[in-house]
Structure 1
Amino acid sequence: MNYMLWLSAGLFLVALFTSKNRTRTRKSALIGAGTIFIYMLLSAFYIISNYFTGEGINDAVIFHLRYGLEGSGFGDYYLIIGIGFGLLIASLALSIFYYRLVKNDVFEHHQKLKYALSLSALALSLVFHPTVRFLGESALKAIGIENPLSLQYRFSDYYQDPVLTPLSEEHPNLVYIFAESFEETYFDETLFPSLVTDLRAIREQSITFTQIKQALGTSWTIAGMTAVQCGIPLVTPSANAHSPQGNSMSKMSTFYSGAVCMSDMLHKEGYKLIYRSGSPLEFAGVDKLYRTHHFDDIKGIKELKPLLTHSSYQTPWGLYDDTLLGLAMNDFKKLSKSKQKFAMFLSTMDTHHPYGHVSKSCKTQKYQDGSNSMLNAVACSDELIAKFIKQIGESPYGKNTIIVVASDHLAMHNMAIETLMKGERRNQLMIIDPRSSSAQTVDKAGTTLDIGATLLPFLGYKATLGLGRDLLGEEESLEASLDAFDKILSAWSKELSRFWEFPKIEQELVLDTTKNNLKIGKTLYKFPILLRLSENLEVSPFFEVKLKFFETAKLFGYLHDYHANDAFLWVDKCSRLSALEPESNVSAKGKYCYALGKLGAEISLENLNAPKKLSLEVLNQTLTLPYEDEKALIRRENLMKIEEK
């Protein structure tokens, strides 16, 4: 675990043991108990995040908290969920114990040395706490403080506009397999002897890249897919006046709509684009990524389940890989017979952390003594993927098909993590070109950001693609040419967040009660929603996010923190909005209402009994409303009453 957490915990214990000497009243005892509770919560959040990621709190954690966890395999995490609740109860119990212990322990003489020691230790424990440090760095980004690296390394100097240039008239089909967490390290014979055998044999006829590192913003599935498709890492918009908030991006209708990706370019070249996954498409916005970027045919477990012989044969994450690959093989044959160019992307699930799942059709159900469920799953996945590749190669269409096997990201915390950590962690990337007669091993350093630019020449195109570089070309990757590449990517978060392309209102805004969504141009947002309107009518959207075991703050919590002069549009349940203006005539029994105005000025509050259009004139008039801080104060009190209800 992060040594900074241990250092912080040690300092906190010093503060705890010396704080008794300055706890002279019930009030100070209560403050001390509250501090303990908050510290324990911060630590619990870090410990649980670290269990999932192996890297503590990172962008993957923040993304999924903002996007929501609908569709994730909660069945694999009941233990850690139980531990999380246990830590919460322990935090509360420790706080109460501390309060009762010291509330009556009154000291008559103030001990200045112990007071200074306690206060200093407490401050340092928070400074060194990894959760506080992460939140602090995020806050600096949110308020728009420029990272010096963004000035030293200008994003525009390194980002290459996506352009596709034909190299020949030969454009084969593509089958790309995102092998869940199946990283290069599993091929290491010194760590995992005879674990991966079937794919190793296929490598003897393939191009293998052995130095594909993991860049910032690419360490979870949707982020790894984005890196491959678009050549840029996945960042979530931060909450500030200049950059919209994505606290529950599952309510958005598009995904990185400002980016031009590999699939967008292949679509223009006449390729039919297909995606197959055994998991729910809604999880993390996978469906929106592919639909936004011109995929024609997208199917996950919901769409594939009617094709199953045994519908109950699935894991907590979705379909077993033998089922998925069997269905994908049928699709491959149909697509190949159509003679239309196509690119099919598959996402396997059996090697998903923490335990992995073994398909029944695997001949080898166990690795060694079978005690490690994850390694059993890796051995099975090796067999299934290799079998799938051989079926394509032996088919009449194999000679016209490029196959890629690549990990979507490095393995997170799983049953084999201790052994994995002993190796040189790298992502797997293997390209199988039937036109090539010899194998090739490429040791050139790169990241998953480079995969798209490296792959497209195999399809007959030379390409520039964002931050990616062709690893078979002469130019070095940014990973190889830039020191501290991850820190530079972090410094570019503001530029990268612009690819979300939150819209500016340039025509009337439509509130559609038939579909319960708000439409700005071509962009749709689901109700409920809160929009902050800037001076030029650029919007910052705020959403609610519901998780299966807990729930984030409601929209009125975000609105409570608005400035008195911030114009907003809030669409929500009438029972909530009516409390904002208690004397309004809206019916609290209505399903949805909308409020347009400012906290410190006039607010228009109406029921949405039918579709409603808000003109540019009305919206611009809202921006000019005079405001009063005192009126905003009253409104904030009304918002707090909503929470009480």
Structure 2
Amino acid sequence: MFGRILQVTRRAGVVVGHLVVHLLIGVGLALLMAAAIIRLYWGEISVNQMLLNIVAVEADGGGGSIVWISILGIAVVPLLVTVGIALWLFFRRRKRRRDGDLRRPPRVQWIMRAVSAALVAAVVIGGTTAFAATVGVRDYLEAANSGYDVGDFYVEPTITDDTDKRNLVLIYLESGEATLEDDQLFGKDVFAPLKAATKASDGWQSVENLKQYEGGGWTMSGITATQCGIPLKGIGSTSGGGAYNALGGNVQTYLEGVTCLGDVLAEHGYTNVFLGGANASFAAKDVFLGGHGYSEVKDLPDWRAAGEPEKAFRSDWGLSDERLLAHAKDEVDDLHAEAEKTGQPFNLSMLTLDSHEPVHIYDYCTVDTQSEVTAAFSCSMTQVAGFVDHMRQQGYLEDTAVVIMGDHLKQIGGGHAFQAELTDHNNRTIFNRIWVPGEDGNSDLRPRVDQLSMYPTILEAAGLTLAGQEAGLGVSAFASRVPAGSAQALQPSHYADLVSSLSPRFYAKAWGGEDAAAQ
């Protein structure tokens, strides 16, 4: 009886051992594939970027084929390979049993087991190491141990006067990196059409060397940085509740405990509208906007419902910039007419799409350079320039502020263009243009600010008087001096530590819906 129990236990142990080994193989392969796909499409990213985009993925108008490739590569292929290995070993052992070839010299068995163990370890360690390096796990762990907390420097925006408030148009340029102005590196200045429509001699201003904040680099990080004044941190940054604690769950709120641009504008009577070509539910953009003062968000489903022809869409993301900006002209016409009638201003925000890689060349775009990416960027800027010209012709620039800027630097993953030109470039910055009615364009904006300081800058461009010219971690670029005690007054290395910090106390409140400014 005892022998029978021992035999069953031994067999069970063998089965469990095989299951664990195959599980490790599957996990190692999945991590390897994940690292390869991330590097191909995005390059090196951060843990926060990965998790904040995984939470609300969209196969339709939110990456399209990339989503399906990721599912296939990270889940299906490793599973099939693992099952294939298991079946091959099973039938191989079965054949040897049938042929009476189960017994081997101990030395041969030891060598085979050692080789098998080494191969399994190589897959697991290789996959784990590649994935950890790709998503910046080391940086994430260092940030978790930072002595800084965003809450110690966060400034709640306080408007002291809105007498001079004006309409606002805010345009985010997908991957709008100013480095692409270099016609020697990229064949042409991709921003030339937009620069012609926003000349300094006409009164347009710009922040020289606008920087992407440390740890940013994707659309939602750019939007929240410039509209809330804080780095975007999500899953794993909180110690309590919050919208992002349930991976893959239905996101109900987004940084509800933080006062962002739309909140401030709505409180002062603005109508906030957002237009985007992609599906706004990707990365929960719609939840963020709807929860922060935007009364209307128009995206991919709206353009389909409006009867846009199929040729106006790209299958992976959404509506072309030509058609998006055509809708934007109609929208700004309606909003401006309503503002004149009611006396209440509007904020029209939008995000372009054509320059998102892999680029799609529409029939309105002529490829006149060696790279299709260069052409797509230039054609997108031509559409934005056309919108600016429309506003000028309609007289809207007389009472409407305009802020145009890239949402982040161009990503340079393994499948992206311009890796050689951008990887070692020593001054990668974000393209921007600012129009303030009545300004002569000769006033100096503080140079080398980062995206976090664009939040108070936008508020001031809209004509709102901001206490201390501070909001979030930022200080307005219109401020000639940085207040002592501000995050912007920190030494560069200390500021980098602050921005990188996971700041669990602050983000627990921010995501949990509590007032993040309250100590």
Same-fold status (TM-score > 0.5): yes
Q: 1:249 & 1:31 partners in 2: Cα distance? A: 26
Aligned match of 1:283? 282
Determine the structure 1 residue equivalent to 2:329.
329
Question: Unpaired runs of 5+ in structure 1?
Answer: 1-24, 504-645
Residue 149 in 1 paired to residue 146 in 2?
yes
Residue 181 of structure 1 deviates from its aligned partner by: 1.3
Residue 334 of structure 1 and its aligned partner are, at CA, apart by: 1.8
Deviation string 1:41-71 (CA, Å, 9 cap, x unpaired) is 2211111122232114532221122233354
Paired letter, 1:498: K
Secondary structure at 2:55 match in 1: helix
Partner of 1:374: 373
Greater alpha carbon shift after TM alignment, 77-86 vs 426-435: 77-86
Matching of residue 74 in structure 1 with residue 64 in structure 2? yes
Aligned-partner SS, 2:263: helix
**How many Å separate the matches in 1 of 2:226 and 2:238?**
29
Amino acid at match of 2:470: T
Pair 1:217–1:254, CA change in 2 (3 A): farther
Shift in alpha-carbon separation, 1:79–1:29, aligned structure 2, 3 A: closer
SS state of the match for residue 352, structure 1? Answer: coil
Structure 1 residue 467 displacement after superposition: 1.3
Alignment check: 8 A CA contact 1:231 1:450 kept = yes
Three-state SS of the structure 1 residue aligned to 2:179 is helix
Give the C-alpha shift of residue 92 in structure 1. Answer: 5.6
Shift of 1:243: 4.6
In structure 2, what residue type is equivalent to 1:324?
L
Task: Tell me which amino acid in the other structure corresponds to 1:160.
Answer: V
How far has the Cα of 1:449 moved from its partner?
Answer: 1.5
Q: In 2, Cα distance between the equivalents of 1:69 and 1:239? A: 24
Residue 397 of structure 1 corresponds to: 396
Question: How far off is 1:234 after superposition?
Answer: 2.0
Equivalent pair of 1:68/1:250 in contact (CA under 8 Å):
no
Shift of 1:279: 1.7
TM-score norm. by structure 2 comes to 0.77
SS in 1 for 2:476: coil
- Contact 2:279–2:299 (CA<8 Å) still a contact in 1? yes
Between structures 1 and 2, the one with greater strand share: 1
Partner of 2:171: 177
- 2:35 pairs with 11, 30, 46, which one? 46
Partner of 1:472: 478
The residue that corresponds to 2:155 in the other structure is: 160
The letter for the 1-side match of 2:207 is F
**1:242-257 to 2 correspondence within 5 Å?**
242-244=240-242, 246-248=245-247, 251-257=250-256
The one-letter code matched in structure 2 to 1:170 is D
Give the letter for the 1:172 counterpart. R
> Given residue 430 of structure 2, which amino acid in structure 1 is its aligned partner?
N
* CA drift at 1:307: 3.2
Residue 214 of structure 1 is matched in structure 2 by: 212
- Closer, same or farther: CA 35–172 of 1 in aligned 2, 3 Å: same
* 1:398 to 1:276, Cα distance in 2 relative to 1, 3 A: same
Q: What is the aligned length?
A: 465
1:583 is matched with none
Quick one: structure 1 residues 255 and 27, their matched pair in 2 at CA, closer, same or farther if it must change by over 3 Å? Answer: closer
Aligned to 1:488: 498
Question: Is residue 448 of structure 1 aligned with residue 438 of structure 2?
Answer: no
- Residues 358, 380 of structure 1: 8 Å contact kept: no
Partner of 1:11: none
How far residue 441 of structure 1 moved from its aligned partner, in angstroms, is 7.2
Q: Is the 8 A contact 1:236 1:497 kept in 2?
A: no
Could you report, residue by residue, the CA deviation over 1:68-94 in whole angstroms, capped at 9, with x for unpaired residues?
335413146666666555566456656
CA distance in 2: counterparts of 1:203 and 1:27, whole angstroms:
68
SS at structure 1 position matched to 2:183? coil
Alpha-carbon distance in 1 for matches of 2:139, 2:375: 42
Is contact 1:164-1:464 (8 Å) kept?
no
Corresponding position of 2:423: 421
Counterpart of 1:409 in structure 2 is 408
Cα distance in 1 between the residues matched to 2:103 and 2:167: 77
Q: 1:149 aligns to what SS in structure 2?
A: coil
Separation (CA, whole Å) in 1 of partners of 2:150 and 2:349:
29
| Deviation sequence 1:259-305 (CA, Å, 0-9, x none) | 11122111122221111112222222122111111112221122243
For 1:430, the equivalent position in structure 2 comes to 433
**How many Å separate the matches in 1 of 2:77 and 2:434?**
46
- Residue type matched to 2:348 in 1? M
1:180-329 alignment to 2 at 5 Å?
Answer: 180-196=174-190, 197-205=192-200, 206-216=204-214, 218-238=216-236, 242-244=240-242, 246-248=245-247, 251-308=250-307, 310=309, 313-316=312-315, 317-329=317-329
* Preserved CA contact (<8 Å) 1:60 1:220: yes
CA-to-aligned-CA distance 1:336-370 (integer Å, 9 cap, x gap)? 122131111011111112x22234344xx11314x
The residue that corresponds to 2:44 in the other structure is: 55
**Preserved contact between residue 46 and residue 137 of structure 2 (Cα < 8 Å):** no
Separation in 2, partners of 1:385, 1:136: 35
Partner Cα separation in structure 1 for residue 373 and residue 494 of structure 2: 32
Please tell me the residue identity of whatever aligns with 1:326: A
Give me the whole-angstrom Cα distance separating, in 2, the residues matched to 1:438 and 1:467. Answer: 26
Does the 8 Å contact 1:210/1:441 carry over to 2? no
Task: Tell me if the contact between 1:216 and 1:490 (Cα under 8 Å) persists in the aligned partners.
Answer: yes
Give the secondary-structure state (helix, strand or coil) at the position aligned to 2:272. Answer: strand
Aligned letter for 1:471? A
- Give the drift of 1:389: 0.8
Q: Partners of 2:210 and 2:139 in 1: how far apart?
A: 31
CA 26–433 in structure 1, closer or farther in 2 if over 3 Å, else same: same
SS of equivalent residue, structure 1 residue 337: helix
Letter in 2 for 1:258: G
Identity of aligned residues (%): 22
So what's the TM-score if we normalise by structure 1? 0.63
What residue identity is the alignment partner of 1:204? Answer: K
| Aligned position for 2:509 | 498
Q: Which runs of 5+ in 2 are unaligned?
A: 1-13, 97-101, 515-519
Aligned-partner residue type, residue 347 of structure 2 = A
Quick check: 475-484 or 217-226, which moved more? 475-484
Q: Larger RCO: Structure 1 or Structure 2 (Cα < 8 Å, ≥ 6 residues apart)?
A: 2
> What is the DSSP-based 3-state SS (H/G/I as helix, E as strand, rest coil) of the residue aligned with 1:343?
strand
Listed one character per residue, the Cα deviations across residues 230-262 of structure 1 (whole Å, up to 9, x for unaligned) are 111222233987455523466233221111112
Distance in 2 of aligned mates of 1:439 and 1:90 = 63
* Contact in 1 for aligned 2:150/2:503 (Cα 8 Å): no
Counterparts in 2 of 1:512-523, with a 5 A limit?
A: none
**1:378 Cα shift?**
0.4
